[in-house]
Chains A and B, each alone.
Chain A
Amino acid sequence: DQQVKQNSPSLSVQEGRISILNCDYTNSMFDYFLWYKKYPAEGPTFLISISSIKDKNEDGRFTVFLNKSAKHLSLHIVPSQPGDSAVYFCAASPSGTSYGKLTFGQGTILTVHP
């Protein structure tokens, strides 16, 4: 049972345009949602997060939107840059004593063309 799903294995966009990465989840107990970026041969690095009590969080070019009723979140990158090309993982965490127990999606490979 995959509790966090990223249904798009890959996404290709032009430099300067918007990149939208999507993620769906099934577990209502998730309290925090995170996006991680991963370059080849490196570990995932934290990008941005959002609490379940919010519907939007913005950090520079990156914005995460959360739709709790639809159990859906998305990451918007505006404008996209070639250096953003990486694998993006959506992750979810419960609160309480299980915080930090991240459940990851399968990842989406983003390619930004110059």
Chain B
Amino acid sequence: EAGVVQSPRYKIIEKKQPVAFWCNPISGHNTLYWYRQNLGQGPELLIRYENEEAVDDSQLPKDRFSAERLKGVDSTLKIQPAELGDSAVYLCASSEFWVTTGELFFGEGSRLTVL
């Protein structure tokens, strides 16, 4: 069974440029998460989707970040314009709808470097 797929794996851009990350969750997983991991820190939740509905986006910096999950499957996370502090690894994760243990399946991440 295929895991969570993310692209691109690495992205280097200059500040003020836009960038987008794509995620394809595990088949059948209704819940999708975007996390950001800064260097030396644990992942932090940005947004959580139940099917196509964003049910928790309290941590998403809405002035420059946006996300969508059309048709409740793939998801895209966009940053426009990027700032130096956005350099991080962006992790996508998915889980079954009624997971009660908090077990999430993570992709390999997209490493963003903003120059």
- Contact present for B103 and A49 (CB under 8 Å): yes
- Contact present for B102 and A93 (CB under 8 Å): yes
- Contact present for B99 and A99 (CB under 8 Å): yes
- Contact present for A105 and B42 (CB under 8 Å): yes
Contact with A along B10-40 (1 / 0, CB 8 A): 0000000000000000000001010000001
Known: A43-B109, A44-B106. A101 touches B45 (CB 8 A): yes
B contacts with A, residue count (CB < 8 A): 26
Q: Give the A-B contact count at a CB cut-off of 8 A.
A: 67
Q: Does B4 contact A (CB under 8 A)?
A: yes
- Contact present for A46 and B42 (CB under 8 Å): no
How far does the alpha carbon of A52 sit from the alpha carbon of B90 in the complex, in Å?
29
Q: Which residue of B lies closest to A41 (CB)?
A: B108
How far does the alpha carbon of A112 sit from the alpha carbon of B101 in the complex, in Å?
29
- Contact present for A100 and B33 (CB under 8 Å): yes
- Contact present for A99 and B56 (CB under 8 Å): no
Interchain CB contact (< 8 A) of B101 among A49, A103, A107: A49
B binding-site residues for A, Cβ under 8 Å: 4, 31, 33, 40-45, 48, 55-56, 91, 93, 95, 99-109
A binding-site residues for B, Cβ under 8 Å: 4, 32, 34, 36, 41-46, 49, 51, 89, 91-93, 95, 97-107
